[in-house]
């Protein structure tokens, strides 16, 4: 008999484990993980001194001091600042959308000139934006939408921007300063020993079972409290239907050159190139070695055997999720994290939601 069974060894349960142990060192915690490693999709593997983000770029950023202090107590963070660039048919632009982007796009220098152009272009949207396309044009105008948003977003989500919820694009800042920092948050960085080591520390003192699908062994274990961070529809054996997810394929390559692209993240925003971005891992940790490792990221529809990376929070899926959520109220299990709550969480928000849960269960 355990005090807690935590299903899934990602950031949500790692935060729970750490907080539970901080409050009660003797708590008996069992962690059951389907895959053969800890850390979920923030898993990093050190190859040739480079921490490779095996499941895509993870840059930690938050505005919340409590969250920042929490992670820094576990791991030292570097000063990485995400400043991706976008490649569109031979042209290169800074992201997020800022004066560097606008100046390159329209050959202008002054803030007012950028504002004037965007004001003019956004006039095409007169009503309240109803989808991602309208939202994007009303934020930055048609030129930027066509070159830097449309192709990328339609590759990423596998459907037209007109059929996507507008909130997705609100993740991206728009600013009228020459500031290429992708995130608005006060704190930002990457653990200097990699995310995997950080997560391992967070699970210190827990019993860990890898390579095990909890749903197949659940009768074998019992606990006062069970937290499940897998897909909520899978937990209920899809009895109300399947939620949709977006998946990714990663193509990793080691190159015998010192630097491939001079930046950690390059987005490929045209529809004709099948991948959305190339990340060059050594730039996340400022590693000085003679070789480099890059990953091309290809979005894919989710099907069995692939990893679900993103929930698709459109109306249809959201409604189905709400029905599963209702079902979960009769279950003696708590659902957490991106998959358990079908929510496009950033890492800091995952930690905050785990903090909330700790208040209720410990
Ligand atoms: N996006 C875009 N062009 C870009 C980068 C992002 O249009 O070059 C849009 C796209 O719709 C994407 C969303 O912004 O789905 C969120 O991007 P973010 O980089 O935050 O996504 P994540 O890192 O979570 O995959």
Q: Give me the DSSP letters along 21-50.
A: HHH-TT--EEEE-SSSSSSGGG-EEEETTE
Q: How far apart, in whole angstroms, are the C-alpha atoms of residue 334 and residue 331?
A: 8
- Mean pLDDT calculated for residue range 261-265: 98
- Mean pLDDT calculated for residue range 155-183: 95
- Mean pLDDT calculated for residue range 295-302: 97
pLDDT band at 171 (very low <50, low <70, confident <90, very high): confident
Question: What are the residues whose beta carbons fall under 8 Å from the beta carbon of 60, sequence distance 6 or more?
Answer: 71, 77, 188, 189, 190, 191, 347, 348
Q: Does domain 2-80+186-242+312-361 have CATH number 3.30.450.20?
A: no
If you measure from the C-alpha of residue 169 to the centroid of ligand 1, how many angstroms do you get, rounded to a whole number?
A: 7
Ligand 1 proximity of 152 Cβ (cutoff 6 Å): yes
If you measure from the C-alpha of residue 50 to the centroid of ligand 1, how many angstroms do you get, rounded to a whole number?
A: 25
pTM: 0.97
Domain ranges across the chain:
2-80+186-242+312-361, 99-169
Taking a C-beta distance cutoff of 8 angstroms, is the pair 264, 79 a contact?
A: no
Average pLDDT, the chain: 97
- Annotated active-site residue 346? The verdict is yes
Q: Which of 81, 271, 95 is nearest to 169 (CA)?
A: 95
- Annotated active-site residue 175? The verdict is yes
Q: Counting atoms of ligand 1 from 1, which one is nearest the CA of 269?
A: 8
> In this predicted structure, what is the pLDDT of residue 161?
97
> In this predicted structure, what is the pLDDT of residue 337?
98
Ligand 1 proximity of 148 Cβ (cutoff 6 Å): yes
Q: What is the tens place of the pLDDT at every residue in 26-57?
A: 999 999 999 999 999 999 999 999 999 999 99
If you measure from the C-alpha of residue 156 to the centroid of ligand 1, how many angstroms do you get, rounded to a whole number?
A: 8
- Mean pLDDT calculated for residue range 281-307: 97
If you measure from the C-alpha of residue 184 to the centroid of ligand 1, how many angstroms do you get, rounded to a whole number?
A: 15
Candidate list 195, 297, 338, 345, residue with the active-site label: 297
Q: What is the tens place of the pLDDT at every residue in 98-117?
A: 999 999 999 999 999 999 99
Q: How far apart, in whole angstroms, are the C-alpha atoms of residue 263 and residue 71?
A: 25
> In this predicted structure, what is the pLDDT of residue 222?
96
- Mean pLDDT calculated for residue range 318-334: 97
pLDDT band at 257 (very low <50, low <70, confident <90, very high): very high
Ligand 1 proximity of 269 Cβ (cutoff 6 Å): yes
């Amino acid at each position: 008999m355990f005090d807690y069974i935590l299903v899934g060894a990602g950031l949500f349960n790692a935060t729970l484990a750490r907080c539970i142990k901080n409050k009660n060192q003797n708590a008996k915690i069992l962690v059951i993980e389907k895959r053969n490693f800890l850390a979920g999709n923030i898993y990093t593997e050190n190859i040739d001194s480079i921490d490779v983000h095996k499941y895509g770029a993870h840059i930690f950023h938050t505005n919340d001091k409590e969250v920042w202090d929490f992670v820094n107590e576990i791991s030292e963070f570097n000063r990485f600042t995400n400043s991706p660039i976008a490649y569109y048919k031979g042209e290169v632009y800074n992201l997020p959308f800022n004066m560097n982007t606008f100046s390159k796009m329209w050959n202008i220098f002054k803030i007012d000139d950028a504002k004037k152009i965007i004001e003019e272009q956004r006039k095409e949207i007169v009503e309240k934006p109803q989808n991602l396309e309208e939202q994007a044009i009303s934020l930055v105008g048609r030129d930027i939408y066509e070159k830097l948003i449309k192709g990328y977003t339609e590759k990423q989500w596998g459907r037209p921007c007109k059929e996507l919820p507008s909130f997705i694009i609100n993740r991206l800042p728009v600013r009228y300063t020459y500031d290429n920092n992708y995130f608005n948050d006060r704190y930002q960085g990457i653990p200097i020993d990699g995310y995997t080591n950080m997560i391992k520390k967070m699970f210190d003192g827990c019993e860990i079972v890898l390579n095990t699908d909890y749903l197949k062994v659940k009768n074998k274990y019992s606990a006062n409290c069970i937290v499940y961070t897998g897909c909520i529809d899978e937990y209920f054996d899809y009895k109300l239907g399947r939620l949709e997810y977006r998946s990714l394929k990663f193509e990793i390559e080691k190159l015998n050159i010192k630097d491939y692209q001079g930046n950690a993240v390059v987005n490929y925003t045209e529809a004709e190139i099948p991948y959305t971005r190339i990340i060059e891992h050594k730039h996340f940790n400022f590693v000085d070695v003679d070789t480099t490792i890059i990953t091309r990221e290809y979005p894919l529809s989710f099907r069995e055997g692939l990893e679900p990376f993103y929930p698709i929070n459109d109306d249809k899926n959201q409604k189905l999720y709400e029905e599963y959520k209702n079902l979960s109220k009769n279950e003696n299990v708590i659902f957490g994290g991106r998959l358990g709550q079908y929510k496009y969480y950033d890492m800091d928000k995952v930690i905050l939601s785990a903090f909330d849960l700790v208040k209720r269960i410990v």
